[in-house]
Amino acid sequence: MSLLKSVATVGGYTMISRVLGFLRDILMAAILGAGPVADAFLVAFRIPNMFRRLVAEGAFSAAFIPLFARKLEQEGKDMALEFASHALSILVGFLLIFSALFMIFMPFMMQFLAPGFGTEGLRFELAVDFTRITFPYLLAMAIVALLGGVLNAFYKFAAMAAAPILLNIVLIAFLLFGIGKTESDVGLLLSVGVALAGLAQVVFLVIACKRTGARVPLRRPVFNADIRRLFRLMLPGILGAGVMQINILVGTIIASYLATGAISYLYYADRVYQLPLGVIGIAVGTALLPMLSRQLRSGEETTALYSMNRALELALLLTLPATAALMVIPEEIISALFRHGEFTAAASEATAMALFAFASGLPAYVLVKIFAPGFFAREDTTTPVIVGVIAMILNVSLSLLLIQSFGHVGIALATSLSSWFNVMALFIILRRRGHYAADARLLRRLVGIFLASLVMAAGLYVARRYLDGLLADDLAARITLLALLVGGGMVLYALAILAFGGAKPKEVKNMLKRRPSK
């Protein structure tokens, strides 16, 4: 098994999905801009997504994958799949009831999820209608999360990583169909598209499991010891595994009190920094959790520690230059991607400021994805919840404090600061328990990676000041400027990383091996 190959598989499909997601958001920004319909749809899209990442992908995956991996290693494939079937039946039954109640009481719930919308008016009414339509997406994604966890435990990462591509394809198709229609009609079309895309992903994962020989049918659930253990691990994990999603929800609630457009600015900025987070952080975390779980179940503590160090090395090799770029050229990125149609220059500038603040926390977001599996693989979801609660309190406090001076940018900055606290606390706890220690190779590489990132950042800063005055201010010129900056920055970073010893081709080749030598 190769960590780099697994990360490349997940990251490659995630990159395709995020590129299509950018195309989707570019179309949406041009058609809807940053007005009340856009705010309403983004709330409707974010709410089931938040619950999906907390209940389905966050807490559930963190608890389910280690248990399933242990079953697979100790009792064999048939017993592991039987456990997965019982878990699926219970999850589906619970979420059917939860979703039905949430949809019925949506007007009441919206007062808490987006209180700044009030209890009447266009934004409130549209948000209620759109969220009722999108909410079944939560159930679909819960099924996808379980089936994807089964496939990941077998080291089959491609299908789960490719599934989100379907969402973006469907939403792009609905956006193209909505050209020329009213903004409210476009919002309605997008909401229907979200629900249909969820169904499409379920069908795709069911087919993938069948082809892998890992069918997970619905059956009469049994609350045996394994299922009870799953729920004991899952309940604290709802907070521990989803701190960042809760932080984003808090930001949405607070932003709903700000001027119209604030939610949209934060959303589009979030979408940009989610690209490196998804391609790097989520990809590494997705590949690392089943690997650590099976290594620890087999008693390979030294190998598990080696895997964590190589995951950190690989993640920071890609994350630090991405962070530098997002903080040095945020205006060029947002302007090229979104500044056209109904998305004005003022909206572009406001979004770029939010992106700068979000990007300052990008390394922390990524590192959480690596340190958290160090707890989850040991079936410990209680410790992260304690850290998570403190981080959430810090996030809310900082958001309320910073919006006084920085508006919507203060919300993004609070998210970054609380994420840094989260990752530092996880690191310290893992180290004190003897579950993590950086090896000499990682420390040497970090120095080179940091220096190379500084060189790239300086080069981008000089280049943007020089190139910006040479190009006219139109869409083609903005895209050309961004392409030159990104391309030049990548070349400069590659040369600097070799010069400072941040990476060596021989070591990268070694990471591709099934059993890397140490």
CA distance 126 to 123: 5
Model pLDDT, residue 15: 82
Q: Give the residue, 468 or 396, on which the prediction is more confident.
A: 396
CA distance 85 to 93: 12
Nearest alpha-carbon partner for 297 in 42, 132, 52, 72:
72
The pLDDT score that the predictor gives to residue 263 is 79
Token reading at 13? 């499909």
What would the two tokens of residue 171 be? 């939403």
pLDDT of residue 509: 60
- What is the rounded average pLDDT for all residues in the chain? 83
Say whether pLDDT at 242 is over 70: no
- pLDDT value at position 201? 94
Beta strands (DSSP E) in 311-467 are none
Overall average pLDDT of the 440-468 stretch: 91
Is a pLDDT exceeding 70 seen at residue 471? no
Residue 473: the pLDDT is 67
Question: What pLDDT was estimated at residue 222?
Answer: 80
pLDDT of residue 466: 82
The pLDDT assigned to 339 comes to 81
Each residue of 421-451: b (16+ CB within 10 Å) or e? Answer: bbbebbbebbeeeebbeebeebeebbebbeb
Domain ranges for the chain: 3-511
Q: What pLDDT does residue 517 have? A: 41
> What gap in Å lies between CA 228 and CA 257, rounded to an integer?
41
Going by pLDDT thresholds of 50, 70 and 90, the confidence category of residue 507 is: low
Hey, which of 64-68, 82-86, 503-507 has the most confident mean pLDDT?
82-86
Q: Please state, in angstroms and as integers, the Cα–Cα distance from residue 439 to each residue in 187, 377, 434, 513, following that order.
A: 51, 20, 13, 20
Higher pLDDT, 111 or 208: 208
Are 11 and 283 contacting, i.e. CB atoms less than 8 angstroms apart? yes
Distances (CA, A) of 252 to 245, 246, 255, 508: 11, 10, 5, 40
Q: Can you give the pLDDT at residue 417?
A: 93
Q: Smallest Cα–Cα separation from 486: which of 326, 349, 362, 361?
A: 326
pLDDT of residue 122 exceeding 50, the answer is yes
| Local structure of residue 155 (DSSP, 8 states) | T
pLDDT in tens, 265-310: 888 888 888 778 777 777 777 777 778 877 887 778 888 888 888 8
User: What percent of the chain lies above the pLDDT cut of 90?
Assistant: 26
Q: Compute the CA torsion angle 422, 425, 426, 427 (nearest 10 deg).
A: 120
Top-confidence residue, 295 or 421: 421
Query: Given pLDDT bands bounded at 50, 70 and 90, which one contains residue 4?
Result: low
Q: What would the mean pLDDT of 145-165 be, rounded to a whole number?
A: 86
End-to-end CA distance of the chain: 15
Q: What was the pLDDT predicted at 516?
A: 43
Q: pLDDT digits over 7-38, tens only?
A: 777 778 878 888 888 788 888 888 887 678 88
| Residue 518 confidence (pLDDT) | 42
Give the integer Cα–Cα distance in Å for 154 and 160.
12
Asked whether the whole model's pTM tops 0.85, one would answer no
Q: Which whole number is the average pLDDT over 144-164?
A: 86
Q: Give me the pLDDT at residue 389, please.
A: 79
Amino acid letter at 512? L
Q: What pLDDT score does 424 carry?
A: 95
User: d(Cα 7, Cα 66) in Å, to the nearest integer?
Assistant: 19
Asked if residues 377 and 292 have their Cβ atoms less than 8 Å apart, the reply is: yes
Report DSSP state, residue 338.
Answer: H
Residue-level pLDDT at 119:
66
Q: What is the Rg, in whole angstroms, of the alpha carbon atoms belonging to the chain?
A: 22
Q: What six digits make up the tokens of 260?
A: 């119209």
Q: Is the pLDDT of residue 353 over 80?
A: yes
Q: 369-385: b or e for each residue (b if 16 or more CB lie within 10 Å)?
A: bbbbbbbbbbbbbebbb
Read off the pLDDT of residues 205-239 as tens digits, 9 standing for 90 and up.
Answer: 999 999 988 888 888 878 888 888 888 877 766 65
Q: Pick the residue with more confidence: 435 or 58?
A: 435
Q: Look at residue 515 and tell me whether its pLDDT is greater than 50.
A: no
